Amino acid sequence: MSNVSCHGIEHLDSSVAECVTHVPGLFCYPCPRTAPTGRLTPRWSRRHRPDAGVPRLIANVRPNPQPMRKLPNHLAEWLALGYSKKMASAEFLAPPPAEFIRVYHFTSSQHGQAAVRLKRLKVARFGDANDPFELLALNRHDRAIRHLAAQLRDDYNDKKGLLCFTRNWASPLLWSHYGDRHKGVCLGFDVRRSLVSEIDYADKPLRRRLPDDPETSAIDDGLLDLLARTKSHHWKYEEELRLFIELASAVTVSPLFFRPFDEELMLREVILGHRCDLDLQTVRTGVGETVPNAVAFKARLAFRSFEVRLNGKTRPDVSNGSA
């Protein structure tokens, strides 16, 4: 039987197998979508697929004369400091010093622009929080305890507020709930670790032995701190971190309170949601004028996972040591 040549392959019969040489992005000679099995010419090499006995034919194509530049990835540095392997900014930014922690605050584009321009964050109040169980994490089966919890919440709300952060900006759920359905922004801060409190997510309310006729004075500081850090497990997806603020020390613009940026609350990233209509160059100019060490870029939806990632076309230039 005479030799037949097809797809750069010589073989002695006409049997064919499914062609698996068409790899997106690789140059392939014009050919039909099937390739015969048989003896291979030097142009091709054979590799067996682990999931089947069919040989796979791989082209030994010429190397790209202009190979893609390898971009820096700082994931190992973030992991060494205890961050998640899914830390979105690790792809292109170095982590903060060990005594600080990088945290993220979602908001609308309007409030985000104001925060950057005025270099301050609005302090949230416990009475206005999304979670109706804020400061109500005690088991309130008794009427007296219910009265105590309500009084305690009112007293605490009059004295303290909070800044709410999360550990990463890759969650599409957080963008939807707090980032104006991906039309808002996310602000990344370096906050001194000693000032940040982690949230304890509980399956059930806390049970504590209290006096038969308890007063707010029966709640010691340790229990009060625990109540301010305890939330239902339903909120666990937020991975929340809190910075508690004494309202007496906050900047007041009645009836609102603000926490100014300083050496313990340093803006490092301004991330535009993938639906945000702000002009990135305008945002970068504003950020550069007010917080020169911060970077601004745009997010996009990931192609291979249900996460939010850096839009590579807006990758910030960090060669000057920004962020």
Task: Judge if 167 and 261 occupy the same domain.
Answer: yes
Residues 126 and 41 in one domain: no
Token pair recorded at residue 245 = 């603020």
Contact call for residues 28 and 6 (beta carbons, < 8 A): no
Are 25 and 132 found together in one domain?
Answer: no
Claim to verify: residue 54 and residue 106 sit in the same structural domain: no
Confidence of residue 141 (pLDDT cuts 50, 70, 90): confident
Domain count, the chain: 2
Please tell me the predicted confidence (pLDDT) of residue 61. Answer: 47
Over residues 244-273, the mean pLDDT reads 97
Does 132 map to a domain?
yes
62 vs 192, which has greater pLDDT? 192
> Could you tell me if residue 128 is inside a domain?
yes
Which tens digits make up the pLDDT trace of 269-311?
999 999 999 999 999 999 999 999 999 999 999 999 999 999 9
Q: Say if residue 229 is in the same domain as residue 140.
A: yes
pLDDT of residue 182: 98
**Do the beta carbons of residue 167 and residue 191 sit within 8 Å?**
no
SS3 assignment, position 217: helix
The two three-digit tokens of residue 310, written as one number: 């850096």
**Least confident piece of the model among 10-14, 69-73, 231-235, 312-316:** 10-14
Mean of pLDDT values over 211-239: 85
Looking at the structure, tell me whether residues 104 and 230 fall in a common domain.
yes
Instruction: Answer whether residue 128 shows pLDDT above 50.
Output: yes
- What pLDDT sits at residue 207? 86
Query: Does the residue 22 lie in any domain?
Result: yes
Quick one: DSSP state of residue 93? -
41 lies in the same domain as 154: no
Distance of CA 261 to the CA centre of its chain: 21
How far is the C-alpha of 25 from the C-alpha of 66, rounded, in Å? 14
Q: Is residue 127 situated within a structural domain? A: yes
**Is residue 86 included in any domain, yes or no?**
no
CA 88 to chain centre: 5
pTM of the model: 0.77
Q: Are 192 and 264 a contacting pair, CB within 8 Å?
A: yes
Residue carrying the six token digits 């004028």:
289
CB 47 within 8 A of CB 18: no
Shared domain for 138 and 259, answered yes or no, is yes
301, 174: one domain? yes
Based on the fold, state whether residues 119 and 250 are members of the same structural domain. Answer: yes
Q: What is the pLDDT of residues 148-163, one digit of tens each?
A: 888 889 999 999 999 9
At residue 33, the pLDDT reads 43
Give the pLDDT confidence score for residue 69 in this predicted structure.
56
44 in Cβ contact with 9 (< 8 Å): yes
Going by pLDDT thresholds of 50, 70 and 90, the confidence category of residue 130 is very high
Report whether the peptide linkage leading into residue 260 is cis, meaning its omega lies within 30 degrees of zero: no
Nearest to 276 by CA among 306, 307, 298: 298
Q: Which long-range contacts (CB under 8 A, 24 or more apart) does 262-267 make?
A: 264/191, 264/192, 264/195, 265/121, 265/163, 265/189, 265/191, 266/100, 266/189, 266/190, 266/191, 266/293, 267/116, 267/119, 267/187, 267/188, 267/189, 267/291, 267/294
Distances (CA, A) of 292 to 4, 190, 260, 265, 296: 67, 14, 16, 15, 11
Q: Which helix (H) or strand (E) holds 244?
A: strand 240-246
- Per residue in 23-70, pLDDT tens? 454 444 444 444 444 444 444 444 444 555 544 444 444 555 555 555
Give domain status of residue 72, yes or no. no
Answer for the pair 179, 273: CB distance below 8 angstroms, yes or no: yes
- Average pLDDT value over all residues in the chain: 83
Q: 25-39, 121-135, 254-268, 282-296: lowest mean pLDDT where?
A: 25-39
**Domain-located, residue 87:** no
pLDDT at 41: 43
Pair of tokens at residue 235: 């909120």
What local confidence, expressed as pLDDT, does residue 22 receive? Answer: 47
Decide if 126 is inside a domain: yes
What pLDDT score was predicted for residue 145? 83
Q: What is the pLDDT of residue 36?
A: 46
Can you state the percent helix, strand and coil of the chain, rounding each to 5?
25, 30, 45
Same domain, 18 and 107: no
Contact, 81 vs 63, CB < 8 A?
no
The Cβ of residue 197 has, within 10 Å, a number of other Cβ atoms equal to 14
SS (H, E, C) 43-82: CEEEEECCCCCCEEEEECCCCCCCCCCCCCCCHHHHHHCC
pLDDT per residue as tens digits for the range 15-35: 433 444 444 544 444 444 444
Instruction: Say if residue 227 is exposed, middle or buried (CB neighbours under 10 Å; 0-12, 13-18, 19+).
Output: buried
The C-alpha atoms of residue 300 and residue 310 are separated, in whole angstroms, by 6
274 and 138 within one domain: yes
Q: What is the extent of the structural domain holding 39? A: 4-59
